[in-house]
A and B are shown apart, each in its own frame.
Chain A
């Protein structure tokens, strides 16, 4: 039975999935309105701005006149998204003409923003109370350290030096999908887990936050409250201290969890506690361009397949171990080599036994590209300064060749049909399968055919009808 799973690509998909009542409640908060607007496609943003001071509904027809013929599909995407998020309310009048108007709450909040400019969600604490706040560098390194130790704990529960305060059950939820936890077996990285480790920090962070929100109901927390708090958090200024007393109990417990992830740094004063958002938190809702989040690279790959990583991080070592043979580790340097064997384990790691074999093809592509893009994104600055590509071409080519060695054969689950009563029924079945895009092989002489497994039920119904 195929497993049904809900995927939200980003915060806004989660927001859009909320029931209308909750969504309208969310729009009471200016920051949500702001974040929602910023997440929209450019054209949709423009429409909102254009209709912001128009209280009358505008007919769909007149809006279509705003775009040139090339932009019709974009126009439709924009309108759909606006309606999905209830930013636009659809009104159908007596003549069955559709018109749209901006959600009044949303409109009011944004009009306010335009007249008065952006404000911060809460006043930061004065420096007389907080005395000494961490510098931006300290905060960044703190965030990175927390995040890495969390990841380390996630992938190999024994290795992390610092334990987080997440309950084991919560950790298991995070690990679900990333590790295959089977009894009497050491936990093994799944294909998703493998991809997860090679993703950049923002993507990883989003994965974890998504799981955190989805499972919030289990802990008795309203997911809408949590989403609204997380969005609001992203509007705080990085590195400023905010009083903990301004938070309600739900938010306070969420903040403790976020501190474990490195999104927040908690500090204690003599009388009051305060929290300091790190860059990870303020980047949470925004559509980041890669440039703003790029870290200092550390990897040098030579043409002889040797790999030098200037890093003391355990996590980096673990990640490199996924696809390279780590030979020795110095205090600030990891030396390894990319070998055929190490890559084969990487490609095999990408797949677990329970996954259907027809996925093989797709998986290999991404594993290969992910390794290359990981090496390129983390290339040492000295390497980037050179004119040559960050990863030598012969290495990328060889990795691709090794990978293509493994997928010469493609397997598709299928069903085999034979013993048709007549030629007509057989040919009808062939045509039916072909129309549904599932015909793999036919032998008209002996009246046998092979059809993809996915349309087996359709085929069965069809053949029953023929009788």
Chain B
């Protein structure tokens, strides 16, 4: 027991407020691409249902860590994407499951997921797949960012910014005079820290080069709103998109070598709140594939031509930029290519170091 000797004068602050800085909102993007999970060339060791069990356990553990934590699940399908679970809505919390065996989170989410997969399937009947069967990552990233913007703008988290400013000015004023106890400031500041926002992509299907521009835009917008994108690859190949996403936004990129213990990976690495990440050993990026897709044929290229006006990327030389309409002069490929290659090499070096 904490015993304190001497007359007690200063009263304690409110109960257990000191640890409130790990409140998180986790947006989970779930890859539900049927061509990945059910494809005949499946080399994954884990089935979709097993995968879901791990993910649901992970969601539960996030919700367990703090009662103010919130998880939102977005399904990334082949043709569409949609919100399938939001722990903040009242129906997901107060509903007691019918037979008492299936937990509320599970049943609600699975029901929505099933509806989503059926809808997604109907869409794919109209335009049958050809070539790479990637899922709509750009769409679900955008949905996640929209949700985050809604949260940020609703002012739910910053109920009274004026008051915060006013308080800061007082603290600063007091600091100037040096008549304030430092503990007090620390406690007060910790009240004002916001919720941690993060996006977690659970991706299995390969990247779709045609989504390059949209995905990159989403990544930069996440960077602007300072939302890290974590990625966990459950497929066979690495994902260049997500490597870049995690690298640029400061998230964690991980491709678990063994998928049987997916939950342990998820809980060890991705359930860490942003504040704790600064002093924990987390997986380091092993290298980032910075290759871009060209705007003309949507194929991934090592080297290409870049419009000097709008920075659009092309795999072949054009007379006119298809994005901004600038007319290119006669370029001398002998001069241009070596510099490009050099720059590429620097980029890759930077990534590997």
Contacts and interface: CB of A to CB of B under 8 A. Distances in A.
Interface of A: 2-13, 16-17, 34, 37-43, 45-46, 49-50, 52-53, 65-68, 70-71, 74, 110, 113-120, 123-124, 177, 191-192, 195-196, 199-200, 202-203, 206-207, 237, 240, 284-292, 294, 355-356, 359, 362-363, 365-366, 369, 372-373, 376-377, 379, 384-387, 389-391, 393, 396-397, 400, 404
Contacts of A372: 170
Given A5-B7, A43-B279, A191-B9, 7 more contacts: A71-B276, A114-B64, A118-B63, A207-B12, A359-B9, A365-B181, A389-B162
Interface of B: 1-23, 57, 60-61, 63-68, 93-94, 96, 103-106, 156-160, 162-163, 165-167, 169-170, 173-174, 177, 179-181, 184, 191-192, 263-264, 267-268, 271-273, 275-276, 278-281
Contacts of A110: 64
A199 B14 CA distance: 8
Given A117-B103, A289-B191, A362-B10, A43 B276 contact: yes
Nearest to A202: B14
Given A113-B64, A391-B166, A11 B16 contact: yes
A206 B14 contact: yes
Contacts of A114: 57, 60-61, 64
Contacts of A16: 1
Nearest to B188: A373
A195 B9 CA distance: 9
A102 to B, nearest CB: 13
A5 B4 contact: yes
B280 A67 contact: yes
B278 A286 contact: no
A107 B66 CA distance: 17
A6 B3 contact: yes
Contacts of B3: 4-7
Nearest to B63: A118
Q: Which of A7, A123, A387, A404 has the most CB of B within 10 A?
A: A7
A246 to B, nearest CB: 15
A195 B13 CA distance: 11
A237 B163 CA distance: 30
27 contacts: A7-B8, A9-B15, A13-B1, A38-B66, A50-B268, A52-B61, A67-B280, A67-B281, A70-B278, A71-B279, A117-B63, A117-B104, A118-B60, A124-B96, A177-B8, A195-B11, A202-B14, A202-B15, A206-B15, A288-B17, A290-B17, A294-B160, A356-B7, A389-B162, A396-B170, A397-B173, A400-B179
Contacts of A11: 15-16
Contacts of A50: 264, 267-268
Contact of A65 (B5, B18, B281): B281
A207 B169 CA distance: 29
Nearest to B94: A237
Given A115-B57, A123-B96, A376-B163, A38 B179 contact: no
Contact of B5 (A4, A200, A203, A379): A4
Contacts of A385: 162
B12 A206 contact: yes
A286 B12 CA distance: 16
Given A7-B8, A17-B2, A386-B162, A42 B19 contact: yes
Contacts of B267: 49-50, 52
A289 to B, nearest CB: 5
Listed from nearest, the 7 A-B pairs whose CB atoms lie closest are: A71-B279, A117-B103, A17-B1, A10-B15, A42-B22, A389-B166, A10-B16
A71 B280 CA distance: 7
Nearest to A178: B11
A109 B7 CA distance: 41
B65 to A, nearest CB: 5
Contacts of A240: 94
A284 B16 CA distance: 10
Contacts of A365: 179-181
Contacts of A200: 14
Contacts of B67: 38, 286
Contacts of A116: 60, 103
A74 B279 contact: yes
A239 to B, nearest CB: 10
Given A12-B16, A68-B279, A294-B160, A2 B103 contact: no
A46 B66 CA distance: 11
Contacts of B22: 42, 45
A288 B14 contact: yes
Nearest to A5: B8
Nearest to B168: A389
Contact of B184 (A2, A38, A369): A369
Nearest to B191: A290
Q: Which of B163, B191, B272 has the most CB of A within 10 A?
A: B163
Nearest to B10: A366
Nearest to A3: B7
Given A203-B11, A292-B68, A385-B162, A41 B281 contact: no
